[in-house]
Amino acid sequence: MSAAASSSDRFGASALLAVLVHGLLLLGITFVAPRPGALLPTLDVILVESSTPKPPEQPDYLAQANQTGGGDTPERVRPAEIVSSPVPITEAGLEATPNPPRSTPPQPPTEENVIRAETAAPGERSPPERPERELPTAAELIDRTLDMARLASELDRNRQAYAKRPRRKFISANTREYEFAAYMRAWVARVERVGNLNYPEEARRRGLSGELILTVAIRRDGSVESAEIIMSSGEPVLDQAALRIVQLAAPFQALPETKERIDVLHITRTWQFLPSGTLRQR
């Protein structure tokens, strides 16, 4: 009885499976894997930290501002930010931190410190000793006041003397200022003319020659304020002759009116006493 029932069950299951397979083949039912949907268009924009006024000719990426690359690699490299977040993290990393400087080891208490600690009352601290300053006497205050008054008076006199000091101008053969060029030419011509007419007889007789550098200070009215030999010729006769020629040629023309309104003009020239018995300046 049981054997007949089991055989009938197997026959029914086989028949059902056959019906299902034939139904699938007849109806054309198939199983197909799902297709992926169409990809939507995307736009990749890079946020750069700096910009350049001139746009690049062939940009590699899109950004919110123009930026011309300045790297040292031939490949295209996506611009990266300096830090990994907009705000740098202030927390300490894994890098080893330097050890704090060690304090000096405690020194053993000396006998003097122990005695001071024993004599001081508990809970009380001795105030620091302050040097006592003696107050100045009335005579010292009067002397200081007089010294300050004398100093103020001296400073006032120095200011007045500086304000009254004449305005000076220094020129030489290398000067190329048009305001004094004509005056310089006229001054040199006058000195050479007077010098050749009054050439020192001793120097001509002894055949002395040499050159010296002389600075002449001329006031606004053309008078000579001073004459100083900057470099001697080595012959006292020639040096004294140059100073004498300046005195003979004075007074000179009045100083030209310029924007600087010079009070004293200093002219520095090289005087040449030639073996031929002539004077020339350069």
Evaluate whether residue 58 is within a structural domain: no
Structural domain for 215, as ranges: 168-281
Say which CATH number the domain at 245 has.
3.30.1150
Q: How far is residue 40 from each of residues 36, 43, 60, measured CA to CA in Å?
A: 12, 10, 22
**Rounded CA separation 183/262 (Å):** 13
Q: In the predicted model, is pLDDT for residue 92 greater than 60? A: no
- Total of domains in the chain: 1
Evaluate whether residue 36 is within a structural domain: no
Evaluate whether residue 258 is within a structural domain: yes
Evaluate whether residue 70 is within a structural domain: no
Q: What is the per-residue pLDDT across 184-200, written as a single tens digit (0 to 9) for each?
A: 889 999 999 999 999 98
213: helix, strand or coil: strand
Q: What is the per-residue pLDDT across 60-77, written as a single tens digit (0 to 9) for each?
A: 777 767 776 655 555 666
Evaluate whether residue 254 is within a structural domain: yes
**Rounded CA separation 45/59 (Å):** 12
pTM: 0.43
Q: Strand 210-219 relative to strand 168-172: parallel, antiparallel, unpaired?
A: unpaired
**Which two three-digit tokens encode residue 192?**
């050479």
